Amino acid sequence: QVQLVESGGGLVQTGGSLRLSCVVSGGRTNDLSLGWYRQAPGKRREFVAGSSRDGIEGTADSVRGRFTISRDNAKNTVYLQMNSLTVEDTAVYYCNFDLGGSYFALLGKGEGDDWGRGTQVTVSS
């Protein structure tokens, strides 16, 4: 069974950077499409960035140009590099996966899926 553990969150000032990590166990990142998501207080969970098994990568409009997803298959880890952070980026960040190769399957992840504990990112003004 594939399990994911997020880490790397913390408190940062506006304009700062953080890199989140998501370690995958029970499966190989080579075989998975992987995505990052976030949920701010009082809001629904939303897609942030995705990396399909077939090599397609993308980010949500709200973070494009600031956030980058990458993966290290040797370490079975996917990362989210976050730059130029704003208070609107404050949220709990989660990673999730899809066994298929479709990038679009990552966009459809929602409350019916299993989620880990996430990692808290707080951006102060």
| Mean pLDDT to the nearest integer, 98-122 | 91
Q: Is the pLDDT of residue 5 over 90?
A: yes
Compute CA distances 30 → 15, 35, 123, 125, whole Å. 33, 13, 32, 38
Q: Dig out the tokens for 10 from the structure.
A: 């913390």
Q: Dig out the tokens for 79 from the structure.
A: 């990362």
**pLDDT for the residue numbered 101:** 77
Q: Dig out the tokens for 51 from the structure.
A: 């990396």
pLDDT tens track for 57-89: 999 999 999 999 999 999 999 999 999 999 999
